[in-house]
């Protein structure tokens, strides 16, 4: 089972690097959205610092949503998804490998570039720890929850709008607590409570969403 998990994980990573334009799109979108806010709000550090937590998290959420549709789409089109569902290996572990690969392709680059953009928005350096911790816990949740929406809309023509309608309400708690962590860190207030809630949501997502995704995939492929 571990060998199959690693094979699927490595395969998705290699495919992503072969399509580098698709790999760069979420990160470029993340950078562009955040870069536009200082231009729109003007060079006022106080205002930028106040809106920075929400801006960073909304941009990360939208960048993840932008990349979700390709999570299972190519496998569905070439028939490999059906073979995966019929495999004697644990389908849950294979789906888990694909979701983790998606996070490494999409969420990890956002996590790496976030401090630079935080500096651009005027966030003090002592708040970067809270920012990175919230993104490290929150962005995997976006991938796990989004996988269910992708699986449900897989067989639909132009299912991107429906995917957004399904997934965005489920993202709201992550957005609230993730923004709360960064805002508390900016004001030098304790934020361990919000981080613990994000960690609990991540454990719950890792436990339940792969199974729900497999069930949704079986419905879409049938």
Please give the pLDDT value at position 59.
Answer: 94
Rounded-to-integer distance, Cα 139 and Cα 155, Å: 26
CA 5 vs CA 1, 60, 158, 187, 202: distances in Å? 6, 27, 30, 42, 20
Rounded-to-integer distance, Cα 8 and Cα 171, Å: 26
Half-sphere exposure of 38 (CA within 13 A, CB side): 18
Q: What is the 3-state secondary structure (H, E, C) of 176-208?
A: HHHHHHHHHHHCCCCCHHHHHHHHHHHHHHHHH
> Which tokens in the block code for residue 75?
């496998």
CA 188 vs CA 125, 161, 191, 200: distances in Å? 11, 39, 9, 23
Rounded-to-integer distance, Cα 143 and Cα 131, Å: 18
Rounded-to-integer distance, Cα 56 and Cα 70, Å: 23
198 neighbors 181 (Cβ within 8 angstroms): yes
Q: Work out the angle at residue 118's Cα, subtended by the Cα atoms of residues 66 and 142, and round it to the nearest 5 degrees.
A: 30
Please give the pLDDT value at position 157.
Answer: 66
Please give the pLDDT value at position 221.
Answer: 79
Please give the pLDDT value at position 82.
Answer: 82
Whole-model pTM above 0.75? yes
pLDDT in tens, the chain (222 residues): 788 888 889 988 888 888 777 778 888 999 999 988 888 887 788 888 889 999 999 999 999 998 888 888 878 887 788 888 887 778 898 899 999 999 999 999 999 999 999 988 888 889 999 999 999 999 999 999 999 988 888 877 666 678 888 899 999 999 999 999 999 999 999 999 999 999 999 999 999 999 999 998 888 776
């Amino acid at each position: 089972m571990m060998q199959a998990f690693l094979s699927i994980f490595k395969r998705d990573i290699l495919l992503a690097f072969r399509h580098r334009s698709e790999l760069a799109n979420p990160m470029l979108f993340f950078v562009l959205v955040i870069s536009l806010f200082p231009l729109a709000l003007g060079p006022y550090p106080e205002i930028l610092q106040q809106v920075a937590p929400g801006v960073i998290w909304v941009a990360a959420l939208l960048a993840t949503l932008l990349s979700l549709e390709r999570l299972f789409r190519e496998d569905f089109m070439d028939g490999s998804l059906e073979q995966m569902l019929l495999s004697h290996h644990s389908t849950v572990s294979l789906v888990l490998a694909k979701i983790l690969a998606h996070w490494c392709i999409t969420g990890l680059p956002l996590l790496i570039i976030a401090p630079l953009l935080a500096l651009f928005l005027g966030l003090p350096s002592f708040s970067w720890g809270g920012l990175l911790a919230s993104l490290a816990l929150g962005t995997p949740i976006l991938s796990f929850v989004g996988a269910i929406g992708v699986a449900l809309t897989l067989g639909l023509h132009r299912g991107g709008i429906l995917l957004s309608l399904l997934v965005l309400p489920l993202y709201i708690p992550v957005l609230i607590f993730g923004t709360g962590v960064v805002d508390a860190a900016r004001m030098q207030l304790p934020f361990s409570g919000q981080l613990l809630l994000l960690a609990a949501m991540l454990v719950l997502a890792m436990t339940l969403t792969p199974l729900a995704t497999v069930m949704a995939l079986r419905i879409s492929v049938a």
